[in-house]
Amino acid sequence: MEKIQNSLKQFKAHILRKPLKRANHSSCQFQTEKKWLRLQYHANYHIKKPDELENGMEDPPGLIDEKLLDKTFGSLIGLALGDALGAHVEFRPHEYLLLNPVKDLEGGGTWGLKKGQFTDDASMALCLGISLVARRDFIPYDQLVRYKWWFEHGYMSSTGHCFDIGAATSQSLQEFIHRQTVFAKSYRIPLKKLDYLSDPSLLQNFSVYCSKSDVAGNGALMRLAPVPLFFYKHPQEATEFSGYSGQITHGDNKAYDACRYYGALICATLNDYTKEQLLDKDFYKKHKSWFGNKPLCEEIKQIAEGSYKKKGGYQDGIRGKGYIVNALEAALWAFWSDNNSFEQGVLAAINLGDDTDTTAAIYGQLAGAYYGYKKLPKKWVNQVYANKFILNLSKWIVYEGENWKQTDVILPSSQCTADAGNSVPIEHQILDVNIESVPLTHRNSGNKTVPIGKQIRRHSILDVENSNNHLISNQYTVSQFNLNEISSLKAREQISASKLSPVYRPSPGISRKQYNRKSPRNEMNAAN
């Protein structure tokens, strides 16, 4: 009798483990026809880096507006150039740069990069741009997938490895990976196939807001440009999507509003606004419809009204920190005071010190779009890593963006930021997954799909559980690196995982914002 009972238990367990008969996984059929944008490896299992994908690139089939391409490529290459220019002195304080100002593109330094190679800022921007082009739409889930590829495999990295990742971004991507795991089990979808999720209802069910509500690092802003570049013909969508693009990894309203405001400025640049119009203290008031008539939070409102217009720059309080309010103000100060010279502005942004590459990358997005590629310093742009790949992506952003039409937005409702497993219909849950054991960080109030013009304020996740680790401006601190110890990739790989913060995943790469070596000389604001 005991043997029969055991056999029945084994049979029952076998039945429960069996995949659904509909498991041809028709819900995970997405694959871009643009093969050079896919996750690809060499025969030796090393990932193909952007410059190694250039031979397979194809140009768009239709004509492209050259003026629009000049601005689009200017913005993306401006971002990458700012990143590359600032990378070798990243974490250096302003006092150091007063004595050793950056004047040219250099290699070595903080990350031991070759001249022209970029860090996380440009890598994530490429991931975002590729998602828009591959999906021909704004799909936050796909954006997170590509960020995950960068995090785990080095996708779109200039070195083939993920490095220089911010703590907030790392935490959000780990949360996304966790949600994917729960979601895959709940729907009986192989985890590897879930990266290619294509079913609209499942995309709607997956909660893409992976950040805590109080995270306001500059990592949301540093990668922004592809969104307003793609949707520039639709200013309201460009502005709102800009906010969403940041908030999936940085949940604070300040991050959302900073991205909305900066996205609107880039959008206006592509619509031929003058510099005076862009920097008008009443820009927000005159374009409230772009913002869905929703207000800006007080800190971003002050910046929009011109708080960055300080002739003294650093002496007047402008800082190149990792807090998104500081970063936005610093980038706009550099643009306002650059005397219509990209070179002057980007160097001024870098020489503020601290998060040098990100401040310069944020400046480069707007200034590059405004001045256009043809007016950027050729002595530098020609040395930017994978510039041909960036040019090709720019062409596709112009082409697909011009052909985009208003669609329904597949996003969770305003409070649907619970763990993904919690939003899975009960009939699809398997018995060996205890959904109740999954920690909840947000409430789930259902999902909707509505046209962008009729959307309620979906971005708000203020109703989440209170967190004790509020990341306000004076708490975005990370100590100055011993630059001699991390001057090469080999040295970085040898850094013990015990020296990294608990949230760090040593396997994908090394985190600049989580490595914490005590130094009374310099504590910088760098939690992006």
Annotated binding site for Mg(2+): 119-121, 355, 357-358
Alpha carbon distance 40, 53 (integer Å): 9
DSSP 8-class letter at 480: P
Residue 142 and residue 152: Cα distance in Å, rounded? 15
* Amino acid at position 208, single letter: V
- Rounded-to-integer distance, Cα 121 and Cα 164, Å: 9
Note whether 214 and 251 are within 8 A (CB): yes
Q: Which of 92, 166, 82 is nearest to 515 (CA)?
A: 166
Write the DSSP assignment of 18-69 as a string of letters: SPPTTTTTTT-----S-GGGS--B-TTSPBPPGGGGGGG----SS---HHHH
Query: 430 burial class (0-12, 13-18, 19+ CB within 10 angstroms)?
Result: middle
Unique residue bearing structure tokens 């041809």: 24
Question: Residues within the annotated binding site?
Answer: 119-121, 355, 357-358
Q: Which two tokens stand for residue 508?
A: 């994908």
Give me 526's structure tokens. Answer: 């760098």
Q: Can you tell me the distance from the alpha carbon of 239 to that of 230, in angstroms, rounded to the nearest whole number?
A: 11
**Residue in this structure with the two tokens 């959008």, named with its chain if needed:** 267
In sequence order, the β-bridge partners of residue 162 are: 509
